[in-house]
Amino acid sequence: MTWALLALLGLVLGSFLNVCIHRIPRGESIVAPPSHCPRCGKRIRSYDNIPVLSYLLLHGRCRFCRGLISPRYLVVELITGALFVAAYAKFGVSWLTPKALVLVCLLVLMALIDLEHQVIPFKLSIPGLVLGLAGGLLPSQSLTDAFLGAALGAAFVLFAWMLWRYVLAGIFRRFGVHQREGIGGGDLPFAAMIGSFLGLKSMGVALFAAVVAGVIVGLVMRAMGRAKSGQPVPFGPFLAIGALVGLFFGPVIFNWYIALTLG
C-alpha cells in the first residue's frame, strides 16, 4: 500500500509540476486559471486531468481542438512517480525519504524549465536552498555538511564560469569557433541548492556525474547533427542528473573511490 500511495503521489505531483514548468517562466499564476489547453484555451475537465491515464486515452491530444499535447507532460508524471518509489526503496522509513522527495520535485521542476526556456528562476532555487539547509537540522542530518555541500556547488559553477570566460572562450576564438556559454547565472544557486540537500561527499559525486553526462550528451548530439556549432546546451539538466546519482549512489561511489585511491 505504501508503494502504491507513493507512486500515486508522485504522479499527482508530477502533473502539478507540469503546470509549474509551463507557467512559472511565463510569469503566470500556478493557481488560476484552472488547467486549460494552451492552444484553444478550453478548460480541461477533471476526468481529462488524470495523470498518465488521461494522456493515453486521449492519445496525447486536446479533447476539444485535437491539438497535440507535448509528451513532456507524460514523461514528467512518470519520472516523478518512479523517483518517488525509488526514494522510498532507497531510504525507507526515515527522515531522508521526505528530504529526497522534496529534492526530486525541485530537480524535475528546475531541470525542465532550464531545458525548455534556458533559465533557472532564482525564485525557485533560493527557496530550495533554504529548504536544503533547513534539512540539515533534521535528526541524523548535519547543518555543517549542508553548508559545505552548498559551498562546493556554488564554487564549482563559479570556477567553471571563470574558466570558460577567461580561458576557453579565448581558445575557441583563436580557432574561429563561436561558442556561446552554456553556464548561466541561475546555475550557481541551483548547484548550491543541490549541495545543501546532498552534503559535501555526495555533492562531489554529483558534480563529477554532471560533467560526465554533459560531455557524453554533447558529443552524441554533435555526432548526430542535433547540436550546431555555437549552440549552448543548458547545464541545469545535467546538474539534475548528477544530483540523482549523488542522491542514490553518492556515499557508495565516494567510499569506493577513496578505497581505490588509498588501496
Share of the chain above pLDDT 90, in %: 65
The answer to whether 84 and 9 have CB atoms below 8 angstroms apart is: yes
d(CA 30, CA 24): 7
167-206 confidence digits (pLDDT tens): 655 565 565 555 555 577 889 999 999 999 999 999 999 9
The residue among 173 and 150 whose pLDDT is bigger is 150
Sorted by sequence, the CB contacts under 8 Å of residue 21 that are 6+ apart come out as 72, 76, 109, 112, 113, 116
pLDDT of 107 over the 90 cut: yes
Three-state DSSP at 36 gives strand
d(CA 79, CA 83): 6
Q: Where are the domains of the chain?
A: 1-93, 94-263
226-244 confidence digits (pLDDT tens): 666 556 678 899 999 999 9
The residue among 28 and 167 whose pLDDT is bigger is 28
Q: Where does the pLDDT of residue 14 fall: very low under 50, low under 70, confident under 90, or very high at 90 and above?
A: very high
Cα dihedral 57, 60, 62, 68, rounded to 10, equals -160
Three-state DSSP at 61 gives strand
pTM of the predicted model over 0.85: yes
Q: Where does the pLDDT of residue 218 fall: very low under 50, low under 70, confident under 90, or very high at 90 and above?
A: confident
The residue among 145 and 179 whose pLDDT is bigger is 145
The answer to whether 205 and 250 have CB atoms below 8 angstroms apart is: yes
